[in-house]
Amino acid sequence: MKQWMSRTLLRLLGWKIEGEKPLHHKYVLIAAPHTSNWDFPLMILFAWAFGIRISWMGKKSLLWPPLGWIMRALGGIPIQRKTSNNMVDSMIDAFEELSELVLVVPTEGTRARVEHWKSGFYHIARGAQVPIVPSYLDYGQMRGGFGPALPMSGDVKRDMQLLRGFYAPMKGKFPELFGPVRLREEDAPEAGAKRAAAS
């Protein structure tokens, strides 16, 4: 019922539903472009439309009652934001402990334009040895869905080139706020190689 209602609502809102449900039981799901407050509820609707139960990271204060009950029901996982390494390690542990986990990571971390994506999604996928599935909301053609599962090789530039190619035709609600699909590690090849090797 939830799947049918989600698909119906998306069509009423003018959205086209594309692609197939990923077959993997565990993967990192990246959400881009992220330029509007509408992106989160639309992402939830698309996940429901495909019958995907997603989990996403949120600061612990956001998941306190009473709002926290709703956020947890929508897949929220509370995290301590003391350091990015602790967050990455916690998510890797979660993948090891659970038989199924679809973890959504907003790569840009903000609706404002940024020149580099946050690399947590990449290091979580590498550390947990799970693929990355790119999801998208293309406001230019009013379409959304899920791309192919992409295993990360550890060659940061090569892996990110796959994602750049995938997101090249996509437009956010506010296209000027969607910055380059790029990690800082690509600007520092030696540092990126060392971190990838350690993952």
Q: In what order do the strands lie in the sheet with 143-146?
A: 16-18, 143-146, 132-138, 26-32, 101-105, 55-59, 76-79
Cα gap 152→135, rounded to integer Å = 16
Please tell me the predicted confidence (pLDDT) of residue 95: 93
Any idea where the domains of the chain sit in the sequence?
19-108+118-198
The model's pLDDT over 60-91, given as tens digits with 9 standing for 90+, comes to: 555 556 655 566 666 666 665 555 557 888 88
Q: Which CATH architecture has domain 19-108+118-198?
A: 3-Layer(aba) Sandwich (3.40)
* Confidence band for 198, pLDDT divided at 50, 70 and 90: very low
The model's pLDDT over 130-184, given as tens digits with 9 standing for 90+, comes to: 999 999 999 999 999 999 999 999 999 999 999 999 999 999 999 999 999 999 9
Please tell me the predicted confidence (pLDDT) of residue 56: 73
Please tell me the predicted confidence (pLDDT) of residue 86: 79
The model's pLDDT over 114-127, given as tens digits with 9 standing for 90+, comes to: 899 999 999 999 99
Q: What is the DSSP secondary structure assignment for residue 15, as one 8-state letter?
A: P
How high is the mean pLDDT of the chain? Answer: 85
* Confidence band for 25, pLDDT divided at 50, 70 and 90: very high
